Amino acid sequence: MNYEQSFKLWQSDGEAFWSDAAKALQWDKPFKTAWQQAPSGGGHWFPDGELNLCYNAVDRHVDEGRGEQIALIYDSPVSNTKAQYSFADVQSEVAKLAGAMQSMGIVQGDRVVIYMPMIPQASFAMLACARLGAIHSVVFGGFSSLELAKRIDDAQPKLVMSASHGIEPGRLVEYKPLLDEALAQAAHQVDNCLIWQRPGCELTLQAGRDRDWASAVEVSAPVGCVSLPSTHPLYILYTSGTTGISKGVVRDTGGYATALHWSMEAIYGARQGDVFWAASDIGWVVGHSYIVYGPLLAGCTTVMYEGKPVGTPDAGAFWRVIEEYRVKVLFTAPTAFRAIKKEDPRAELLEQYNLSHFEALFLAGERGDPDTLRWANKILDRVVIDHWWQTELGWPAVANFRGLGLLPVEYGSAGKPVPGFDVVILDEQHNELPLGEGGDIAIRLPLAPGSFPTLWNNDEGFRKSYLDAHPGFYNTGDYGHFDQHGNLYVMSRTDDIINVAGHRLSTGAIEEAVGEADDVAECAVIGVADPLKGTVPIALVVAYSEFKGSEQDLSAAVIKMVREKIGAVASLKTVIQVSRLPKTRSGKILRATMRKIADGESYTVPGTIDDPAILDEIAASFKRLGR
C-alpha cells in the first residue's frame, strides 16, 4: 500500500484504520471501542482494551524466540564505554529493576521522576516504570535544581531515580548535589531515591532516603508485566519550552504504542532487526519515542549515544557510529548537521568511513533549512527527509514515507500529512486558507493515536493553550503553508511572524535566505521593535570555522542575499556575527528570549538553555547597536 492509498483509507474510516494497526500489538484484553471523547476536549484510543507496553517492547520478542537479538547498543565516547544488550538481557535488567522499585512501594499510578544521563540504566528505568504501571517523568539530566524542583512539585513522585553524575565534553556534571538541592527546594516530599553510581565519581548517599541502585537490583526478584488500561498514562513529559514556562504533556499507553509501532516501518522504513539510531536524549520526546519505545516495539536494535556530533572527538563522530554498528536510519536535529557542516564543510572526515549500509537521514526538532538539507544530501548521497512534529503530538504529523513509497522530496518542506492528522491552514477567523497562503497550522480533532489527551492535572490549561484558538482544531502554534502539491512548509512559530511596515513576513523565510549566503553556517532572524516600521528583522549569524573575513563582509553578503531572495520589503539592514546561537538542549533556538533582550523587556532564562553565557554575548551585541 502506498501513501495515497493509506491516507485515503484513513480518511474513509479512521477508527477502522487505527484499530487494524493496533492489532499488531499483543493485547491482554482486546479493545471493542476505538475512540472515546474525554472531558478535557481531547480523547482516548482503545479505551476498553488492556496491554503492557514493556511487554510489547521487550518480553514479547523473547517469547517469540528473538531473545538473543541485540536490542540496545550503548556508545559513550565521553566515558570511553561501549556495551550491547540483547532483548533477553534487557528483559532481565528491567524485570529485576522493577522488582527493586516494587520493594520500595511503587505500584500502578505512582509517579517516578527519572533524572539521568544517557546511559542504559535510564532506558531500563523507563521500561521498568512501564512494566509496573508507574508513570515516569524524565527530566533532562543536568537541568538546574530549580527546574527539577518545579517538575517534582507538579508530578509529585513517590520515587526519584538518578545517577551520581553525567559527562559533558571535558567535564563531569554531578547530578547528586543538584538532586539534593532540588529536593530541598521542592514543597513535595520524596521519600525514596535510587542512585546509580557511575565509575569515577561515586557520591555519598543520604541515609534513610537514598539507595544504591546496583545493590537494590542485586537482591531483588524479577517481576512480570502489569496489565494496564490502554488509557493509563505512560508518562508525563514537560515541554522544553523557549519561554521558560513548561507544561506537563500526558501520554497514554495503547494509542502511543500503536502509533509508534506503525510509524517505524511506514515512515522510517525500519523493520525487525534493523539498526535505528535517534541521536537525541531521553529527556526529550524524540528520546522517549525513538530511542526507547518505538524501535523496541518494532523489534529493531536501538542506539543510545552519549556524545556530541562534534568534539567527541571530532566532526566525524556520527560517521564512526553509523559504520561501526551498521546503522540503517539516523534521526537527528538539523542543529547537529549544521554543527558538523560548520566544523567540516567539505566533509573530509566522512571519507574515512564506510557508510554503504546506511540508507536514510531524518531531521526534526527545528526547521530544516534547505541549505543544510542539500549539503547533507550531497555529502551522504542518501535520501534526506525533514519531518515535523511536537512534544504534544508524540510522533510525526507531517513526513515522507520510506515504508509507503517515498514521495518527491521538496527541500524546505516537512512533507505531507501523516494518516491520522488532518492538517489545515487557518486564518484568524478560523477559515481554511487556499494552497500557497500562509496562516496558523492547525489539526482537525480528533488527533491521531499517540497524541496527548490533556496536560497533567490541567484540563483547563490544555483547552486554553491548544483548543480555544480555533474551535474544533488543535492549534500547533506554528505558521506555514501548503504548496500546490500538498507539501507543508512550516516556516516559524506564529509569534515569529513579524509585521514590517504593514507587510507580514515569516522570520523562517528570511532565515532561509540568510542561510544561503556564503560563509553562513547557522543563523537566526528575530523581529525587533522599530519606531518607524513597527518591526524590523535582525539576523544573527554564525560563520564557518574557516571564515577569515570581517563582520562587515559577512553582513554585506547576507543583506545582498536577502534582497535577492525576499526583496527590499524584508528591510534587513542589521546583521550580527556571533560565536554561537542560544539554544535549548534539544537544539531549538531561543528566538523569543533574544527578541526580549533586543527590545529591553524582562525575560526568564529558560532552564533548558544549553549555555546561559551566550545570552551575555547577545546582550552585548544589542547594546553595541544602541538597543
pLDDT, tens digit (0-9, with 9 covering 90-100), for 278-302: 999 999 999 999 999 999 999 999 9
- Residues 25 and 264: their CA atoms lie apart, in Å, by 13
Given this model, what pLDDT does residue 89 score? 98
Q: Give mean pLDDT, residues 422-449.
A: 95
Separation in Å, CA 130 to CA 16, 135, 221: 27, 7, 17
Cα 265 off chain centre by: 19
Task: Name the one residue in this structure whose C-alpha cell is 500557497.
Answer: 436
**477-503 per-position pLDDT tens digit:** 999 999 999 999 998 777 677 777 666
When pLDDT is averaged across residues 146-170 and rounded to a whole number, the result is 93
For the segment 4-14, the average pLDDT, to the nearest whole number, is 98
pLDDT at 442: 98
With a cut of 60, say whether residue 105 has pLDDT above it.
yes
Q: What is the pTM of this model?
A: 0.86
Cβ neighbourhood burial of 139 (10 Å; 0-12, 13-18, 19+) = buried
**Looking at residue 469, what DSSP letter applies?**
S
**pLDDT above 60: residue 460:** yes
Q: Which of 42-56, 285-299, 527-541, 543-557 has the lowest mean pLDDT?
A: 527-541
Model pLDDT, residue 503: 65
- Relative to beta strand 35-37, strand 43-45 is antiparallel
Q: What average pLDDT does range 257-273 have in this prediction?
A: 98
| pLDDT number for residue 502 | 61
pLDDT of residue 243: 45
CA distance 281 to 619: 29
Give the residue among 165, 154, 162 at the shortest CA–CA distance from 195.
Answer: 162
For the cut 70, the answer to whether the pLDDT of residue 121 exceeds it is yes
Mean pLDDT computed over 318-323: 98
User: Is the model's pLDDT at 241 over the cut of 70?
Assistant: no
Pick 580 or 422 by higher pLDDT: 422
Taking residues 595-608, report their average pLDDT.
84
More confident residue, 427 or 243: 427
Measure the CA–CA gap between 421 and 37, rounded to whole angstroms. 17
pLDDT at 545: 85
Considering the chain, what is the average pLDDT of its residues?
A: 93
Check pLDDT > 70 for residue 27.
yes
Mean pLDDT along residues 120-137? 98
Taking the C-alpha atoms of residue 196 and residue 164, their distance in angstroms, rounded to an integer, is 6
pLDDT band at 242 (very low <50, low <70, confident <90, very high): very low
Say if residues 15 and 45 touch (Cβ distance below 8 Å).
no
Average of pLDDT values for 101-108?
97
d(CA 10, CA 15): 8
Higher pLDDT, 565 or 472: 472
Reading the block at residue 255, the C-alpha cell is 494509542
- Distances from the Cα of 470 to the Cαs of 249, 417, 454, 467, 613, in angstroms? 20, 19, 17, 6, 39
Highest averaged pLDDT of the listed ranges 269-273, 535-539, 570-574: 269-273
Average pLDDT estimate for 520-524: 92
